[in-house]
Chain A
């Protein structure tokens, strides 16, 4: 018997409530503890490339599927904003809004993923010592540095523009970014708060590429960091070969949503 419009709406609401309960109550319980500061060493023969990016600068890194990028906040004072595109079709790129809503959380940490706009996984957060990363506020801009310092300084928006230009892309290709080591939270009124006690020297993330991608990492102080302009220091980037994901891989199994996004990603390479 055909369902009435009302019955379909009620069934859709029930499914939504089930997904919400799973996504906000069950999934977080299964997420791992943060990586220890001295944990997850990278074997010397797995390192492909290592470089230190000075404060205010950026680096563009190509990652093949299965390679990973470790970003280390050497001083504990830096924040690193990141965007990325799929190498074979740069109209597919990081999508912070989908990343947040698909995972029912604006707080990403070890075990979470960063999605593209095509329902696929761009990066997996396979190691993470700290957890406080920002997907809502974005990086610094000429306007934000002018407002903070009275003069425009090096900033993430111009870094992204320069990096994009060097691979044949332009301002139209620059989406909202994720910023690592940026402990932003919200109060009850929705105002953004900065939580400096959640930053330590040596904090790092490991981002495993799930597609062939190009990422840009910009090492500029987050616009909400009250320690600016002292909130700077070099960061270390280590491109390395990640261990192949196992059946019970944390990120691939974290939630039904993540499992579907991985299934759609795997189809590109089937």
Chain B
């Protein structure tokens, strides 16, 4: 499975349901991710383009922020404590970074062995990362844009219906050159995609000229 052609002059670009995508964002560029049809989770990983051993860290991000959800203004922190990017626009209001990505193996544990042979985000990540010399080893706890995962005071942790409406978007502005990797989530066993995975759209724009 290859990712759709998203060369510079092909933007905006639709990422079909269940498919991966990646590209390098230069410092100052902004990626807009649009939930075209609503209630679609978008799993994402970030790597420092110059040294992919430096990568997005969910725990560093939450520690620095002091709270559990990704929202407007959230700084996305690397495993070396640097700001890789930040959220500069958000018309949805709720994104997760604690639930990780779906995999064939975890689906089998969560939903029964009959779900093992269903396409999953980790399959997407492995294939997309392989284009950049990276492997399963490089997959860490990711961002889940448009995914609604409330955690209550007792720790109860639930994937519930997404609140993103068709056309809702989130924007991520790069603070360094980053490899941005997306899996348009194929999960059909919980409400993260409304039980019906759909296409999303991405748009990259350059930093405004000062």
List the interface of chain A (C-beta within 8 A of B). 5, 8-10, 12-13, 15-16, 19-20, 24, 91, 95-98, 100-107, 115, 117-120, 136-139, 141-144, 157, 170-177, 185-192, 223-224, 257, 260-261, 264
With A176-B140, A260-B109, A264-B109 known as contacts, the answer to whether A186 contacts B151 (CB < 8 A) is yes
A174: chain B residues within 8 A (beta carbon): 79
With A141-B81, A176-B141 known as contacts, the answer to whether A136 contacts B62 (CB < 8 A) is yes
- Is B168's beta carbon under 8 Å from chain A? no
What's the nearest-Cβ distance from chain A to residue B152, in Å?
Answer: 7
- Is B2's beta carbon under 8 Å from chain A? no
The distance in angstroms between the C-alpha atoms of A40 and B64, with both chains bound, is 38
The distance in angstroms between the C-alpha atoms of A121 and B92, with both chains bound, is 35
Task: Give the nearest-CB partner of A184 in chain B.
Answer: B155
Task: Give the nearest-CB partner of A17 in chain B.
Answer: B191
Q: Which of B53, B106, B188 contacts A172 (CB 8 A)?
A: B53
| Most chain A beta carbons < 10 A, residue from B110, B153, B194 | B110
With A136-B59, A190-B151 known as contacts, the answer to whether A119 contacts B188 (CB < 8 A) is no
Q: Are B151 and A143 in contact (CB under 8 A)?
A: no
The distance in angstroms between the C-alpha atoms of A172 and B101, with both chains bound, is 18
A171: chain B residues within 8 A (beta carbon): 53, 79
Q: Which of A106, A141, A170, A189 contacts B155 (CB 8 A)?
A: A106
The count of chain B contact residues (Cβ–Cβ below 8 Å) is 51
The distance in angstroms between the C-alpha atoms of A16 and B103, with both chains bound, is 17
Please tell me which stretch of B3-11, B14-22, B27-35, B130-138 contacts chain A, meaning at least 4 of its Cβ atoms lie within 8 angstroms of it: B130-138
What's the nearest-Cβ distance from chain B to residue A164, in Å?
Answer: 12
Q: Are B63 and A137 in contact (CB under 8 A)?
A: yes
The distance in angstroms between the C-alpha atoms of A175 and B142, with both chains bound, is 11
With A12-B188, A102-B110, A118-B105 known as contacts, the answer to whether A24 contacts B158 (CB < 8 A) is yes
- Is B117's beta carbon under 8 Å from chain A? no
List 29 A–B pairs whose Cβ atoms lie within 8 Å, in order of A's numbering: A9-B194, A12-B195, A13-B195, A16-B191, A91-B136, A95-B106, A96-B100, A100-B98, A101-B159, A103-B157, A105-B154, A105-B156, A106-B151, A106-B155, A107-B155, A115-B109, A117-B105, A117-B139, A136-B151, A139-B59, A141-B60, A143-B64, A185-B153, A186-B152, A186-B153, A189-B67, A260-B108, A260-B109, A260-B113
Q: Does more than half of chain B's interface fall in helix, strand or loop, or is it mixed? A: loop
The distance in angstroms between the C-alpha atoms of A263 and B5, with both chains bound, is 42
The distance in angstroms between the C-alpha atoms of A43 and B113, with both chains bound, is 39
- Is B163's beta carbon under 8 Å from chain A? no
The distance in angstroms between the C-alpha atoms of A244 and B88, with both chains bound, is 53
Q: Are B153 and A100 in contact (CB under 8 A)?
A: no
List the interface of chain B (C-beta within 8 A of A). 53, 57-60, 62-64, 66-69, 79, 81, 98-101, 103, 105-106, 108-113, 135-141, 149, 151-159, 188-191, 194-196
B191: chain A residues within 8 A (beta carbon): 13, 16
| Most chain A beta carbons < 10 A, residue from B79, B105, B155, B188 | B155
With A91-B136, A119-B109, A186-B151 known as contacts, the answer to whether A106 contacts B98 (CB < 8 A) is yes
Task: Give the nearest-CB partner of A137 in chain B.
Answer: B63
